[in-house]
Amino acid sequence: MIMRRRFAAGLLCLLAALTMFGVPPASAAKATATEPPKVELVLDVSGSMRAKDIDGRSRISAAQQSFDEVVDALPGETQLGIRVLGSRYRYPGSSKTVGCRDTEQISPVGPMNKTEAKAAIATLRPTGWTPIGLALRAAAKDLGAGETTRRIVLITDGEDTCAPPDPCDVARELAAQGIHLVIDTLGLNPNQKVQQQLTCIANATGGTYTTVQHQQQLTSRLNQLVRRAGSTYQKTPRQVAGGAQCANAPVLSPGVYTDREQFGEHRVYRVPVSSGQELRASVSVGLDRRLNPDYGVLLRATSQDGQELVRGTDAGSGRTDVLSTGLRWSDQRSGEPSGQEASASPSASASPAGTVCLVVSNSFSAPPGVRTAPGMPLELTVDVVPSSPAPSGPDLGRGWLLLVVLAAAGLVAGLILGWLARWRIAIWKEN
């Protein structure tokens, strides 16, 4: 009887423990579950892809090798799809009406079967027309909608031969739908007209355009864009429109925001910061078009009356596609301002705690033929945390003792060497 009671009591304890410790992790897993990164590669397989000008190989051959290498290096959590255009109907020769509907998905967006995907890529032969606009619409449907940003990577060597729909108009339509879609474009040895069209597609959605002339360059860029899909925020940044002045600027709480800034423009945002709190902010601007050399991005924190508190700057020379800078600021009663290349104005200590104005500026200019509208895409990260004390100045700490020892040793060594030198000279004179 006693044994049965002990067994029953032990069973109840076990059930209680499972209830206490087993359920919460499952609930937490549901609460933290997020969508995986989703990317679709859209490859032009039209007749012009037969041209042999990529390291002495045909454009389609270079693209196939790059696709194979990207599939092999695909991160496990990323869901990748592949869509092609112009792969079935010959141009010229077949009906244009039929050829301009020629786009198909050869690998669905999802966990990838790498063997099947590579086999499908290997069978592609350049034959058809170039319905880029239709393919972009279809790729957007392949990716669907959700909280995370989806990416389309378009690889082509020519302009759309089937418009309407014009691919640039399609990109604008997709951007206006608010489905969190970014289109990056890669041109294989394109002419100026193709560059303009691909740049327009990328600009419309905040993507990037890259000219490709070598196979390894194509592989590297594709891998970079696929990885970028996995390194972006799990939740899409909130869209916000910065004001021209602090008085009418939007008020931001901690979070990540996206906006666009015209060339030479100032975009202003307001952030409430109380005494004892520290503002941390950063901005990244995507350079989605060609720019004149020597440009920069400036992020400033100012008081409401325009007095500068702290700034962060970043400069570029054409060798990067992103500029980023950041800053930190807290009220002088609770900490010192600091930032990336930061400098505080003398008036900072007089600024009251309350609302801080964040000002994003740039020094962009574009060469002839490059559109300046829409503005450059930017992401602004804002956080407000308890302030942390900063050191008042350089301090050697225990290093002072070592410095004294080294100075004394140097003095003694100098005296000894000087005495030895005089002794040798005296002996030399005697001889």
- How is the beta sheet containing 181-188 ordered, strand by strand? 103-110, 79-85, 38-44, 150-156, 181-188, 209-212
- Whose CA is closest to 390, among 331, 430, 431? 331
Contact indicator for 381, 327 with CB cutoff of 8 Å: no
Contact indicator for 237, 180 with CB cutoff of 8 Å: no
* Calpha distance 307→422 (Å, rounded): 65
Q: Does domain 38-231 have CATH number 3.40.50.410?
A: yes
Report pLDDT for 232.
66
Report pLDDT for 62.
95
| pLDDT tens sequence for the chain (431 residues) | 444 444 444 444 443 444 444 434 333 333 344 788 999 999 999 999 999 999 999 999 999 999 999 999 998 889 999 999 998 877 666 788 888 999 999 999 999 999 999 999 999 999 889 999 999 999 999 999 877 788 999 999 988 999 899 999 999 899 878 778 889 999 998 898 999 899 889 878 878 888 999 999 999 999 989 988 877 656 678 889 999 999 999 999 998 898 999 998 999 999 999 888 889 899 988 777 778 888 889 999 999 888 899 988 877 665 556 788 888 888 754 444 444 434 433 333 334 458 999 999 999 888 888 888 888 888 899 988 887 655 444 455 556 677 788 888 888 888 888 888 888 787 877 76
Q: Does domain 238-386 have CATH number 2.60.120.380?
A: yes
Report pLDDT for 397.
52
> In angstroms, what CA-CA distances link 114 with 71, 72, 155, 288?
6, 7, 20, 31
Is the bond preceding 92 in cis, omega lying within 30 degrees of 0?
A: yes
Q: Give residue limits of the domains in the chain.
A: 38-231, 238-386
Name 105's bridge partners.
83
